[in-house]
Copies of this chain bind each other. A is one copy, B any other.
């Protein structure tokens, strides 16, 4: 059988919820990465788990590839149908099934986005703090093991998915995990699915942890004479047991860009932005303690506040960063690097990345979720200029190699997708063979997001 026959078989059930127009297929041919698009044969929008089962049974029988698709905000080509097939768009599976406030959890369908969930949570005093930037779907965030600025305090999707329902490639449904906060029963299939990038099945329901909205929030900004001084302040903060909610790093180039774009007058220097959550007295104490720590590492211009308006001003540089980066080289594409290293190696890693950019023909900047040792490079390149593409790739590859040499990982939060397959064996060695054995056991016909993690690389 072929994709065409699967499409014909699905059409009576899905009607106009299965599409083969070029426009629709084109929309689903790319993600937010730099990677070349590739068309699916069709796109289908299931609304129920039973419909997902039906799609997978058909594709399984026919050996036709299936590409799970959430909000399309992946950064490494996760949703690009590199071997064509049927893209399963989960955006109509967007019901919030339950908010269990006492248990600090929510049960949602995979197409629910994080902003949608947080809107529903407004009256509860609870929040879902994982914030990858984009308004990603929770199914997609789980599949990529996403995180963002709050991970240093609240963890990543790894720590915040309690349970899943998953349709396996052959159409069977399994539950993983439970509503209990911890368990010692059985292989941890929840964590096997989280981060598997749609290569083992399709998530149809997630039970995620919620957190209390902090009673008070304080924020701070300060500048440092060097990257090393900034990172050492972060290390001391973490070692002091201060449960910082966010600590974001912007290098001097990023600061110069925001100054220029937003008319700010921040000192052009490596800069840290902090956020603290807790009781009013406790967030004040955290800010004052961090002020002492940063000043002992030669920080200057330390400003902090617990007032919402003031906090917005302090964090404006971070909020305006996306557009400031775009404005750095109008019309250019952005190649985003994403590594995570042990924090003792972070200053070296950032400095080397900065040196690489300075020695390159491409402009670029560095920002980071530095409490976790995770940072991003942004190289601005002309996608129509093969030399610039090659240069961006060279820079990103050097970055990844350095992460591995430092005992880190080639992706802190963006994942492997189609873009980093070549690095899998460099990072994981023979463990890749075990991953392939797991993939073959769960998806023997290799229909789930083929050409990605688990069968390629």
Contacts and interface: CB of A to CB of B under 8 A. Distances in A.
A277 B342 CA distance: 25
Contacts of A277: 241
A30 to B, nearest CB: 20
B289 A430 contact: no
B453 A186 contact: yes
A48 interface: no
Contacts of A340: 180-183
Best-surrounded residue of A184, A186, A200 (most CB of chain B within 10 A): A184
A289 B180 CA distance: 26
A38 interface: no
B411 A185 contact: yes
A186 B104 contact: no
Nearest to A201: B434
Interface string A406-439: 0111111111100010011001111111110111
A374 interface: yes
Interface residues of A, number: 97
A145 interface: yes
Interface string A250-261: 000000000000
A285 B289 contact: no
A352 interface: no
Contacts of A416: 184-186
Contacts of A428: 174-176, 185-186
A211 interface: yes
Contacts of A407: 178-180
A151 interface: yes
22 contacts: A103-B344, A125-B239, A158-B191, A174-B429, A174-B430, A174-B434, A176-B431, A178-B407, A180-B341, A180-B407, A180-B409, A182-B409, A183-B411, A184-B411, A184-B413, A184-B415, A185-B409, A185-B424, A186-B427, A187-B200, A187-B454, A212-B240
Interface of A: 100-105, 125-126, 144-147, 151, 155-156, 158-159, 168, 172-176, 178-189, 191-192, 194-196, 200, 211-212, 214-215, 235, 238-241, 243, 277-279, 281-282, 285, 289, 340-344, 372-374, 403, 407-416, 420, 423-424, 427-435, 437-442, 453-454
